Amino acid sequence: MDFESLVTAMSSETYHKLADAVATGRWADGTSMTEQQRAQSMQLVMAYQARVLRSDEPFTIGADGQMVTKTKAEMKASLQPQSAIATFQHDDL
């Protein structure tokens, strides 16, 4: 199985387990990861994020493998509510 097929066939559960292992440096059973295991797992996690998740987070890995960052204006716009739920005047409360 080639790398692309491996990434697209990976389940979200496997992705989360790998992401946790990379973050902690340990497998789920508590065994320490080797540097090679951690590096390869990190590559899989980043490839999965780029090709499957297509996250809208401010800092992600794009489909082309490059780091994608949002500008301050883009981040601010994404945090703004799409529409106001309710507005009140000072004396209304």
Range of the domain at 45: 3-84
Tens-digit pLDDT profile for residues 50-82:
788 766 666 666 666 677 676 767 767 766 666
Residue 92 lies in a domain: no
Model pLDDT, residue 14:
93
Residue 67 lies in a domain: yes
* CB atoms inside a 10 Å sphere around CB 48: 22
* CB atoms inside a 10 Å sphere around CB 85: 5
Closest to 43 in 3D by CA, of 7, 12, 14, 11: 7
Which residue type does 30 have?
A: G
Residue 91 lies in a domain: no
Model pLDDT, residue 59:
65
Residue 21 lies in a domain: yes
Residue 90 lies in a domain: no
Tens-digit pLDDT profile for residues 9-43:
999 999 999 999 999 999 999 999 999 999 999 99
CA pseudo-torsion sign 49, 51, 57, 59: positive
Q: Report CA Rg, the chain.
A: 19
How many domains does the structure of the chain reveal? 1
